[in-house]
Amino acid sequence: MTTTETTNMTEEQAYYNAYLLLMGMTTYEELADNGEFLLPFDHDDPQVILDYYESIEEYEKCKKIIERNS
């Protein structure tokens, strides 16, 4: 696995963790129970998470974020 692939996987996992928190599907405690976890900068801002998922064309997640935060 290349460094770029590892970075992409780390970024993807960080945003997925933030998505789960935003959607109320997990808590910080539950994430911590699984060991160390990553979150993106400003992870509590729905627009940051929405922008990321728009950039990778995950439109189903975008729709859910918009519905949840409308």
What residue ranges do the domains of the chain occupy? 3-68
Q: Which residue has the higher pLDDT, 9 or 63?
A: 63
Is pLDDT at 4 greater than 70 in this prediction? no
Q: Which pLDDT belongs to residue 7? A: 67
pLDDT class of 5 with cuts at 50, 70, 90: low
Query: Residue 19: which residues within 8 A CB-CB, separation 6 or more?
Result: 25, 49, 53, 61, 65
- pLDDT tens per residue across span 22-70: 999 999 999 999 999 999 999 999 999 999 999 999 999 999 999 998 8
Return the DSSP state at 35.
S
Residue 29 and residue 36 in contact, taking contact as beta carbons nearer than 8 Å: no
- pTM to 2 decimals? 0.89
